[in-house]
Chains A and B, each alone.
Chain A
Amino acid sequence: MRIEISKKDFFEGIQTVNRAVSSKTTLPILSGILLKTEEDKIKLVATDLEIGIEFYVKANIIRDGAIVLPAKYFTSIVRELSDDQIILTADLSNNTAQIKCGQAQFNIHGSPSDEFPLLPKINSKTRFTMYQNILKEMINQVKFAISDDISKPFLTGGLLKFEEKNLLLVATDTYRLSYRRVSFDRKDIIGEEVIIPNKTLNEISKLLNDNEDLVEISITDNQILFKFSGVTIVSRLIDGQFPNYKQVIPKKNNTKAIINKVELLNSTKRASLLAKRDSNIIKINLQEDQLIITANVPEIGQAYERISISLTGQETEIAFNATYLMDCLKVITSEEVILELSGSLSPGVIKDSSGDEYIYIIMPVRSN
């Protein structure tokens, strides 16, 4: 195998697939990246068997072939090479590769490509496309609420659900829940729902573009495939039943406030400087025309923030974990947010001003 490739393109490809390289050493072959020539491109593949990423880079293919190279060394070598053409030659008889670029020359030991597991072939009728920027926004508005409690695996991912006319992404760690809906009209896949692992959502959101290029998604019983901008990502799905999130979304409220989002975010951020580091609690007092945030650390001092709001319903008081509140404010795009409460021990609801497309439920903190 022998190829000539631009360093910049090559490194971008390596970085892309690197996200799937296994960090565990139980299967050494998985700590490598597969390189395989295909027509006028080189295919890069990495997988930890939970998630697999495949990426094609244009190259001048001089001689076909395939080899697996250790990701850690291979990546750092290519990173440090000068911005030039790289000549990569692999001797398949003894599985070594030579990387030449400018004055630099490296010989590294690899493994035979046939030991590398193939990414599963996805053949499914549940197949659809959407804009990359929309999917990216959905993921970013939801992923922070995913649980890391491994004893409840079904909460360690985001629920993707097809409803009539809507596609939903929902996540909860039981302390808060994040819900995002986009319109979607495919009668043939109504009712399907899958749980996508946290890591997969994270990696995808990093790789997706902020534009209206399409991403193609296919779903089987236990796998999901994303295809976009030359990247193919295959991920296992999480087994299990996602809890019935509908029943925790409050239907009514006693207090409703419209608040400037940036002001609320900045005030919360500042007040949280004096929220006890471990529990991170701020108190929010809602009055007729103002919202007061207070926080205090007895040994250090107190914080006080005031924001003008418009309120309907009862005045009330509630305490939240400041991080939980900030998490949602950071991802809401509208200028104003709607905060709905029903007393200091009931869930609070935050929506963006556009309506019900984005809903965030946050449970209060009770101080004894």
Chain B
Amino acid sequence: MELNIIHVDMDAFYASIEQRDNPKLKGKPVIIGGRGKRGVVSTASYEAREYGVYSAMPIVKARQLCPQGIYLQGDHLKYREVSGQIREIFYRYTELVEPLALDEAYLDVKGNHKNSIRIAKEIKRKIKKELKLTASIGVSYNKYLAKLASDFNKPSGFKIISPFEAKEVIFPLDVNNLWGVGPKTAQRLKELGFYKISDIAKGDRSLLIREFGKRGYQLYKLAQGEDYRKVTPPGLPKSLGKETTFRYDTRDKGVLRGYLKDLSKEVANRASNKNVKGKTITLKVKYENFEELSKSRTIEGNISKQEDIYRLAEILLEEVVLDKKIRLIGITLSNITEDGVEQLKLL
């Protein structure tokens, strides 16, 4: 059991970015969240957390707890960009990066000859030096323990859980620290007499299986510190689609073709951004009475260019009965493959 799994969790990610980019916000309670009456907190800076503000809390409630807080709507494009910069640091060490969110990812560094603890320290240092942000990092031999470790001494934490100390670390913890155990499962576990992780580890496996099925077995394994989930980098997108609802319903083929041209262009752009091609084009229409219809066509080759997408979409449009007006039209490219190889053509 090698310590190859690293979990990186950015500290108060959105709020920290805002504080970094605007010195006036430093040391102040900054709360990022949706505006409006029904908005919720997406990130609270550590200063704001002292007032009891936490993620997913309604903004209205946050304002009561922390009236002097600085409330921002947040700039998701910026956060996404920073997230990309962080991932770029990860990729210097391994291809096996599984992002869980913009601010969180698992890494498997088994392919890197460097010591994983050293890699983890370097990552932490580079995030600080290059991006002026802090991360909490957990290192262990599986995903569950790595994530548990990164959560240990936030912010700016660094924790290693080795196979020798795993049981010592997790046994005293409450069952809700097991991966996938929410309030409901925790309650049921407690009703069955499982309070601490050690209770499950030493408990009756068949009872857990009887009670929770496959998940019961998984809980039993997790409680022993065993987790066989792999770090899996996100695969290719399953499909790329774009649709548009018209301002006025229409059954004019000329108008529809115009929309198809624009949509084809957007789908082609997305395909080229993701460096993929596809085999199947699906045309979706929604009639004025909200009835939906989709038609698709799969071809032998792979396409990604606007002309090719449009050409097929237009043929599919011919098959659509326009006895009613249409309110929405969309194009999806699916059956996606990487654009790394090119099947050459004869003609």
Contacts and interface: CB of A to CB of B under 8 A. Distances in A.
Interface of A: 147-151, 172-177, 243, 248, 278-279, 281, 319, 321, 345, 347, 361, 363-368
A334 B297 CA distance: 37
Nearest to A362: B346
Nearest to A149: B299
B176 interface: no
25 contacts: A147-B300, A148-B298, A148-B299, A149-B301, A150-B297, A150-B315, A151-B311, A151-B312, A151-B315, A173-B301, A174-B346, A175-B300, A175-B301, A175-B344, A175-B346, A243-B347, A248-B347, A279-B337, A279-B343, A319-B341, A361-B346, A363-B345, A363-B346, A366-B341, A367-B341
B292 interface: no
Secondary structure dominating the interface of A: loop
A175 B311 contact: no
B340 interface: yes
Interface of B: 297-301, 311-312, 315, 336-347
B317 to A, nearest CB: 12
4 closest Cβ pairs, A-B complex: A278-B337, A363-B344, A367-B341, A248-B346
Nearest to A176: B346
Given A148-B298, A175-B301, A367-B341, 5 more contacts: A150-B297, A174-B301, A175-B344, A363-B345, A368-B341
Secondary structure dominating the interface of B: strand
Contact of A366 (B299, B342, B346): B342
Contacts of A368: 339-342
A305 to B, nearest CB: 20
A365 B301 CA distance: 12
A57 B339 CA distance: 55
A80 B64 CA distance: 75
A348 to B, nearest CB: 11
Given A150-B315, A151-B312, A278-B337, A321 B343 contact: yes
B294 to A, nearest CB: 16
A272 to B, nearest CB: 15
A147 B301 CA distance: 10
Contacts of B339: 368
A367 B345 contact: no
Contacts of A150: 297, 315
Nearest to B316: A150
A149 B301 CA distance: 9
